[in-house]
């Protein structure tokens, strides 16, 4: 594995502004969102609006990823994604969600998820996850991907490649009539072939007019995930695989989640809608 030194928190720049004409999610300015009480199955109008939100989120992530290079700060990546979403009339869903101060999450190397963009400088050999969610027309679209920065060691490259493949396999397992736990079963069985850890405490989730609806999508074979998938259900799948343990520590910022053994981790995510025959990816650029 790469001999990179471990990460430390950097300096966080002031909150970026969003034009007043762009609609905010209801949770902005509040300590927590209002609990979602609506259906997990969405009507065709909601799904169509989610396609728009998902496309903007995917394009914003792609645009930020173009700037990944040694010497670039994670805050610079945040600015690129923020400006793209705002320019397309969307609100960055993470900005102000439970007090999160930035417009995307940047999770490097041993960071599992929820890394805060700051003055941290990308180094040659880093792996970088960008997690971008856009809110427009009253709905959210959420995606993430892990990218290589410069010359990355083979162990890390394989981890990234196989984590992407675990998501692809999970999406293919989505079918109406199947229980949610088939998703985690597919991911876990694939990850075990390589000795990877599968993060258990951070999961996929229902998403629609709510950023997190309450529906949980585990990435391991959970006996409790017995909800049956139905056409029109919308949720994310976002496996987090590690080179070591699935256990984690939380930084003092209350957000940044790192592997307990500080080994590297990768993640990929799409927002999906269950169709009559499988799943449609809503976060395509």
Structure tokens at 252: 């003092």
102-108-113-118 Cα dihedral, nearest 10 degrees: -20
pLDDT at 2: 56
CA atoms in the 13 A half-sphere facing the CB of 187: 34
What predicted TM-score, i.e. pTM, was given to this entire model? 0.96
List strands edge to edge, sheet with 248-250.
Answer: 111-113, 257-259, 248-250
Q: pLDDT truncated to tens, each residue of the chain (285 aa)?
A: 456 789 999 999 999 999 999 999 999 999 999 999 999 999 999 999 999 999 999 999 999 999 999 999 999 999 999 999 999 999 999 999 999 999 999 999 999 999 999 999 999 999 999 999 999 999 999 999 999 999 999 999 999 999 999 999 999 999 999 999 999 999 999 999 999 999 999 999 999 999 999 999 999 999 999 999 999 999 999 999 999 999 999 999 999 999 999 999 999 999 999 999 999 999 999
């Amino acid at each position: 594995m790469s001999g990179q030194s471990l990460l430390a928190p950097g300096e966080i720049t002031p909150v970026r502004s969003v034009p007043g004409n762009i609609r905010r999610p209801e949770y902005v300015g509040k300590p927590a969102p209002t609990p979602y009480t609506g259906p997990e199955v969405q009507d065709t109008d909601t799904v169509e609006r989610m396609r728009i939100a998902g496309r903007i989120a995917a394009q914003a992530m792609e645009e930020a990823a173009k700037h990944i290079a040694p010497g670039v700060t994670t805050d610079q990546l945040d600015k690129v994604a923020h400006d793209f979403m705002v320019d397309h009339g969307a609100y960055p869903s993470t900005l102000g969600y439970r007090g999160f101060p930035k417009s995307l999450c940047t999770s490097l190397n041993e960071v599992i998820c929820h890394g805060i963009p700051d003055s941290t400088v990308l180094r040659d050999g880093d792996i970088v996850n960008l997690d971008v969610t856009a809110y427009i027309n009253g709905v959210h679209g959420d995606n993430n991907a892990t990218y290589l920065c410069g010359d990355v060691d083979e162990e890390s490259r394989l981890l990234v490649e196989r984590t992407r493949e675990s998501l692809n396999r999970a999406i293919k397992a989505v079918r109406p009539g199947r229980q949610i736990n088939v998703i985690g079963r597919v991911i876990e069985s694939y990850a075990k072939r390589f000795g990877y850890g599968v993060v258990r405490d951070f999961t996929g989730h229902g998403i629609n007019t709510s950023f997190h609806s309450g529906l949980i999508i585990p990435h391991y074979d959970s006996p409790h995930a017995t909800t049956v998938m139905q056409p029109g259900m919308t949720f994310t799948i976002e496996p987090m695989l590690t080179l070591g343990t699935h256990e984690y520590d939380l930084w003092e910022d209350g957000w940044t989640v790192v592997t307990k053994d500080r080994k590297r981790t990768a993640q990929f995510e799409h927002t999906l809608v269950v169709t009559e025959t499988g799943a449609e990816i809503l976060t395509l650029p």
